[in-house]
A = this chain, B = another copy of it.
Amino acid sequence: MAQKPTKTRASAKAQIESKIKAAARPRQRAVQERAEITIEKIRVAAIRLFAERGYDGTSIREVENVAGVNRGLVNYHFDNKEALWKAALDQVFGLLETHTKDRAELYRDLPPKERIAYVIRSQVRFNAAHPELNQLMMQEAKSDTPRLHYIVDTYVRPIMEWLQHTAMEALPIEQDEFLYWYYMFLGSSTTVYSMAPESKLLFGVDVMEEKMIDRHVALTTEFLLTRIGGETAK
């Protein structure tokens, strides 16, 4: 997607040279379908493995194995491990971004209280459908790395700010209390899915089942809407 297949076999440095030549070059070709399939298989595997084992715990060879593609293809389609990580992350967070924007649009004309309820509901569903996102996030949020800065600046902050506005408009939350509301929201709506294998072991229940998710949605919504301290809404 964000790939530059403009390299013959001379590596990255030759890009400038390649660009100069491009002016005089008549030939220009599209990405082939088989490549797109390969890239997609690699991306899917990368998301799973990065989410499950973290950046350092994931090896390129393993990604290739899980993806079922041949040795060397990751380094061809994605220049290096860092770029692969970024591609995986952009895919997952791009999904969240789209989802959030769609919902913001959809619920725009609802009364605040009702709107935040829908937001919570749809967010829980999203987390259930995409546990990798929170898993990736937890991997990175633990230490102050360039990768964390990238995620926060690019994806998390805008979503958080919109959520803050939406929540504080509907609920009697103080400005400096929102931080906790936010993490309670996050924790309440993601933990059970991020830890799905544990919950299976511990309670013998598959929390990914539709009926289970419904229940979780209901409880979380009630939970987060009930104003702390007894009040109900603004």
**Do the beta carbons of A183 and B195 come within 8 Å of each other?**
yes
Minimum C-beta distance from A125 to chain B (A) = 15
Minimum C-beta distance from A31 to chain B (A) = 33
Interface string of A203-234 (1 = CB under 8 A from B): 10101000000011001101100101100000
Interface string of A96-115 (1 = CB under 8 A from B): 00000000000000000000
Q: How many residues of A contact B (CB 8 A)?
A: 56
> In this complex, which of A58, A152, A219 has the most chain B Cβ atoms within 10 angstroms of its Cβ?
A219
**Do the beta carbons of B144 and A200 come within 8 Å of each other?**
yes
Minimum C-beta distance from A94 to chain B (A) = 19
- For the complex, what is the distance from the CA of A141 to the CA of B201, rounded to whole Å? 10
**Do the beta carbons of A184 and B223 come within 8 Å of each other?**
yes
Q: A186-B191, A190-B187, A192-B187 are in contact. Are A202 and B157 (CB under 8 A)?
A: yes
**Do the beta carbons of B201 and A144 come within 8 Å of each other?**
yes
Which chain B residues lie closer than 8 Å to A56 at the CB level? 53-54, 56-58
From the candidates B57, B180, B201, B219, name the one contacting A184 in the complex (CB within 8 A).
B219
**Do the beta carbons of B148 and A201 come within 8 Å of each other?**
yes
From the candidates B142, B152, B183, B198, name the one contacting A152 in the complex (CB within 8 A).
B198
Across the interface, name the chain B residue whose C-beta is closest to A140.
Answer: B198
Minimum C-beta distance from A44 to chain B (A) = 16
Minimum C-beta distance from A62 to chain B (A) = 9
Q: A179-B199, A201-B152 are in contact. Are A55 and B52 (CB under 8 A)?
A: no
- For the complex, what is the distance from the CA of A192 to the CA of B189, rounded to whole Å? 13
- For the complex, what is the distance from the CA of A91 to the CA of B132, rounded to whole Å? 29
Contacts A53-B56, A183-B199, A223-B223 supplied; 5 other A-B pairs, CB < 8 Å:
A54-B54, A54-B57, A156-B202, A160-B202, A222-B229
Pairs of residues from A and B, 7 with the lowest C-beta to C-beta distance, nearest first = A187-B187, A56-B57, A187-B191, A141-B198, A141-B195, A183-B192, A57-B57
Query: What are 17 contact pairs spanning A and B, CB under 8 A?
Result: A51-B142, A52-B142, A54-B56, A56-B57, A135-B142, A137-B198, A141-B194, A141-B195, A141-B198, A144-B197, A148-B198, A148-B201, A177-B219, A180-B216, A180-B219, A187-B192, A223-B228
